[in-house]
A and B are shown apart, each in its own frame.
Chain A
């Protein structure tokens, strides 16, 4: 006897719920070995709008075997449909081959006429959002603990627009041309997340663990990471070390040597499982290959696939995945000169941009860095901004000491009491500067 057929009848009787039959359009054809039992239940339901209880059912079918069903409903349905399709195919192929033997034209006509009948029926999972309270629970959770759903961003001024890295269903990309501070931003992010009490995982395909660690130290202490690299005297560095050794913080770093050269999404998954990280940073998404990677895959397909797989992983593991991607150089559009304000500028893959939940581009603006939110699945981005002139968040950055100083916009200066006072006085006093 087919196990799936037995499981379905048992599940309906145990749960007293007929909806599994109705919603999945299960008919007698799916249950040839328990067709009598099924017909009895279906007729009973038709007449009384209820499922018969086990006592009544046992009286009718004393030989029926009762089993405990722990398998997910969807897998039982998939199994029944696949078996049903197999039986249909066997019947059609046998019949067509008989006709083919007599007349090939008639055989082909028959076979083609039956193709619709042989369409596979996949189970598409869905949610009836009008009768689903999961989001209500999520909302209540967020009300109770507004910060629990997000891990803080490295630059607090962005929090108004982006809140933070969302814990789950989050593939957050930092996008920029080389040498603009993408890796520095990731390091600062990691340090801020760790300081907030989260376990941090970093995959560093380009930089060695020690180079990356210096930047994290620098972000915390503002000691020059160049001095650390050069081995110059840094008063207080040893004291800082004794402090972090005594702390509960954890930042787990794996560089390309640790991965033996190539990094796959599955390895990223294992890294997170092993470290139990609350957030994963990948300093160079271009180095990650998707599961099932084939050398014939184009760069675009490969990166797109990586994006999709990482997003699925983020949802499953309930952690944000934050990665750095290279912006493409487009001479025709003068990208080297202009700010990146759309999500079309990822080097190698537009598909990756589609998979990303949020993207922030890093642009040079004079000596400062301008961060522009180019995509935000969960809210506004700068493309919706009315004030195109003052796009993004502007920071004066000293990458050696990891100082990021926010440069306020004129509106913000006016709104802040202290700054507004200084600005007003400066406007008067600066007239005497020259």
Chain B
């Protein structure tokens, strides 16, 4: 994937970067381009680049602690090929944000000396299934191939749409290949494990929920309002 990199003084890693503390932040930094390459090629939604502070509902304290544990141990989580099924029957309670947080952390941890190799990919299941049917689309084959190989994949909103047999085949192929090859995968969904079974089948559900399963019980953080203000304005 081609992208243009330009050095930014507002580096996302600046606050915690040991190079910045020892040498300073300048355009000769090789950490920023390596991280930005991984970020750009990971397909993480653009609004997820910045640091996001997530406040747990009281009922989610334990779940947040477990997710934090995974974040602090993300390199081992990935190297051991672990699977995380993060679900909530409510929308907007931070599942995707957490999945992106974990992925970004992994990218930051492995970026030094990575040599511009792709390591992780975020896929939104409805988009993935649409792409899988676009046989003329040149990125179709590349995307499906990468999902079977990359160290870490986030499969966002599994079970969000009714799946045809073809859809199940596509998902099975990815999930099964990753499971067999010990590659780490994070799933997010609005379906409980039981309900997931009815959408993707028992065999696939068994693999998806074979390792860490976390439920978020809080309500949506998204709030609509009847007032219009420019973003960032007081």
Write the residues of chain A forming the contact surface with B, with a CB cutoff of 8 angstroms: 364-368, 389-390, 394, 396, 398, 403, 405-414, 418, 421-423, 425-427, 429-434
Question: Quick check: B3 and A367 within 8 Å, CB to CB?
Answer: yes
Q: Is B19 part of the binding interface, using a Cβ–Cβ cutoff of 8 Å? A: yes
Residues 5-39 of B, flagged 1 when their CB comes within 8 A of A and 0 if not, give 10100001101111100100001101101100100
Q: Is B117 part of the binding interface, using a Cβ–Cβ cutoff of 8 Å? A: yes
With beta carbons under 8 angstroms apart, the residue of B7, B12, B112 that contacts A433 is B12
Interface bin, chain B: 35 or more
**CB nearest to B23 among chain A residues:** A422
Q: A276 vs B5: C-alpha distance in the bound complex, in angstroms?
A: 42
**CB nearest to A412 among chain B residues:** B113
Known: A367-B37, A422-B19, A427-B75. 17 other contacts (CB 8 A): A366-B33, A367-B3, A405-B30, A407-B33, A407-B115, A408-B30, A408-B113, A410-B114, A413-B112, A414-B113, A426-B108, A426-B109, A430-B17, A430-B109, A431-B71, A433-B13, A434-B51
A219 → chain B closest CB, angstroms: 15
With beta carbons under 8 angstroms apart, the residue of A367, A425, A426, A429 that contacts B33 is A367
Q: Which residues of B contact A403 (CB under 8 A)?
A: 27-28
A371 → chain B closest CB, angstroms: 13
Q: List 8 A-B contacts (CB under 8 A).
A: A366-B41, A396-B5, A405-B27, A414-B113, A422-B19, A425-B18, A433-B12, A433-B104
Given A405-B30, A431-B72, decide whether A426 and B19 contact each other with a Cβ distance below 8 A: yes
Q: A422 vs B52: C-alpha distance in the bound complex, in angstroms?
A: 25
Q: A409 vs B112: C-alpha distance in the bound complex, in angstroms?
A: 8
Q: Is B173 part of the binding interface, using a Cβ–Cβ cutoff of 8 Å? A: no
Q: B60-108: which residues lie under 8 A (CB-CB) from chain A?
A: 71-72, 74-75, 101, 104-105, 108
Question: Quick check: B109 and A431 within 8 Å, CB to CB?
Answer: yes
Q: A389 vs B101: C-alpha distance in the bound complex, in angstroms?
A: 28
Question: Quick check: B74 and A431 within 8 Å, CB to CB?
Answer: yes
Given A405-B28, A408-B30, A433-B108, decide whether A366 and B116 contact each other with a Cβ distance below 8 A: yes
Q: A409 vs B111: C-alpha distance in the bound complex, in angstroms?
A: 11
Q: A366 vs B37: C-alpha distance in the bound complex, in angstroms?
A: 7
Q: Which of B7, B37, B52, B116 has most chain A Cβ within 10 Å? A: B116
Q: Is B47 part of the binding interface, using a Cβ–Cβ cutoff of 8 Å? A: no
Q: Which residues of B contact A364 (CB under 8 A)?
A: 2
B74 → chain A closest CB, angstroms: 7
**CB nearest to A364 among chain B residues:** B2
Q: A355 vs B72: C-alpha distance in the bound complex, in angstroms?
A: 55
Q: Which residues of A contact B74 (CB under 8 A)?
A: 431
B132 → chain A closest CB, angstroms: 22
**CB nearest to B73 among chain A residues:** A431
Q: Which of B1, B30, B51, B101 has most chain A Cβ within 10 Å? A: B30
Q: A434 vs B37: C-alpha distance in the bound complex, in angstroms?
A: 17
Q: Which of A368, A430, A432, A434 has most chain B Cβ within 10 Å? A: A434
Q: Which residues of B contact A413 (CB under 8 A)?
A: 112-113
